[in-house]
Amino acid sequence: MTDTVIFDLETQYLADEVGGWDHIRDMRLSVGVTYHVEEAVYRVYAEAEVERLIDALRQADLVVGYNVLRFDYEVLRAYAATDDLFDAVPTVDMLKDLRQALGWRPKLDSVASATLGETKSADGLQAVYWFRQGLVDQVIDYCRRDVEVTWRVYQFGQQNGYVQCRDRRWRLHKVPVPW
């Protein structure tokens, strides 16, 4: 059976608290959520279960995420002995593909609202604050919602050959995608 995994994670710290975006590994995992498409199963991972999360991603036939290559995988590399941890994992990073096509980085919220007509429930900053307040269930709900939105945008792109987003001037862009 094929194992396609849609993935997102949230962190314990913000970039400016760890010395900037060059120190993503220091942001630490608060919650990770995977959706295993063929099983139709969500799985939630806390920091104490990070090895299980890494194993699930490494064993996947395909991992799909939004900014997964430059952010999510980088956060997880802090927990591994080697930097090539995900080099052999077939990965679709939707942000990478959209950035290559557009020349700028659209936010997932922009892509979801323009493509699906729905928005994210919050943002990563709020998730960090919830984590610090001990509201882990809210972080899980938020992360799971991001995984759901990522999966639906990916499906739309697969079925239609494009997704949409808006730029800062609110112009609508129809972006061909290779998914």
Q: Taking residues 54-62, what's their average pLDDT? A: 97
pLDDT digits (tens, 9 = 90+) for 139-176: 999 999 999 999 999 999 999 999 999 988 989 999 99
pLDDT digits (tens, 9 = 90+) for 87-141: 999 999 999 999 999 999 999 999 999 999 987 777 788 999 999 999 999 999 9
Cα 11 to Cα 72: distance, rounded to the nearest angstrom: 9
pLDDT of residue 43: 98
Extents of the domains making up the chain: 4-176
The answer, as to whether pTM is greater than 0.85, is yes
pLDDT of residue 74: 96
The full 3-state SS of the chain, as one line of letters, equals CCCEEEEEEEECCCHHHCCCHHHHHHHCEEEEEEEECCCCEEEEEEHHHHHHHHHHHHHCCEEEECCHHHHHHHHHHCCCCCCCCCCCCCEEEHHHHHHHHHCCCCCHHHHHHHHHCCCCCCCHHHHHHHHHCCCHHHHHHHHHHHHHHHHHHHHHHHHHCEEEEECCCCCEEEEECCC
Fold of 4-176: Nucleotidyltransferase; domain 5 (3.30.420)
Within 8 A by CB and 6+ apart from 176, the residues are 101, 161, 162
Within 8 A by CB and 6+ apart from 117, the residues are none
pLDDT of residue 144: 97
Cα 98 to Cα 114: distance, rounded to the nearest angstrom: 14
The set of long-range contacts for 39-42, using a CB threshold of 8 Å and a minimum separation of 24, is 39/3, 42/144, 42/147
End-to-end CA distance of the chain: 20
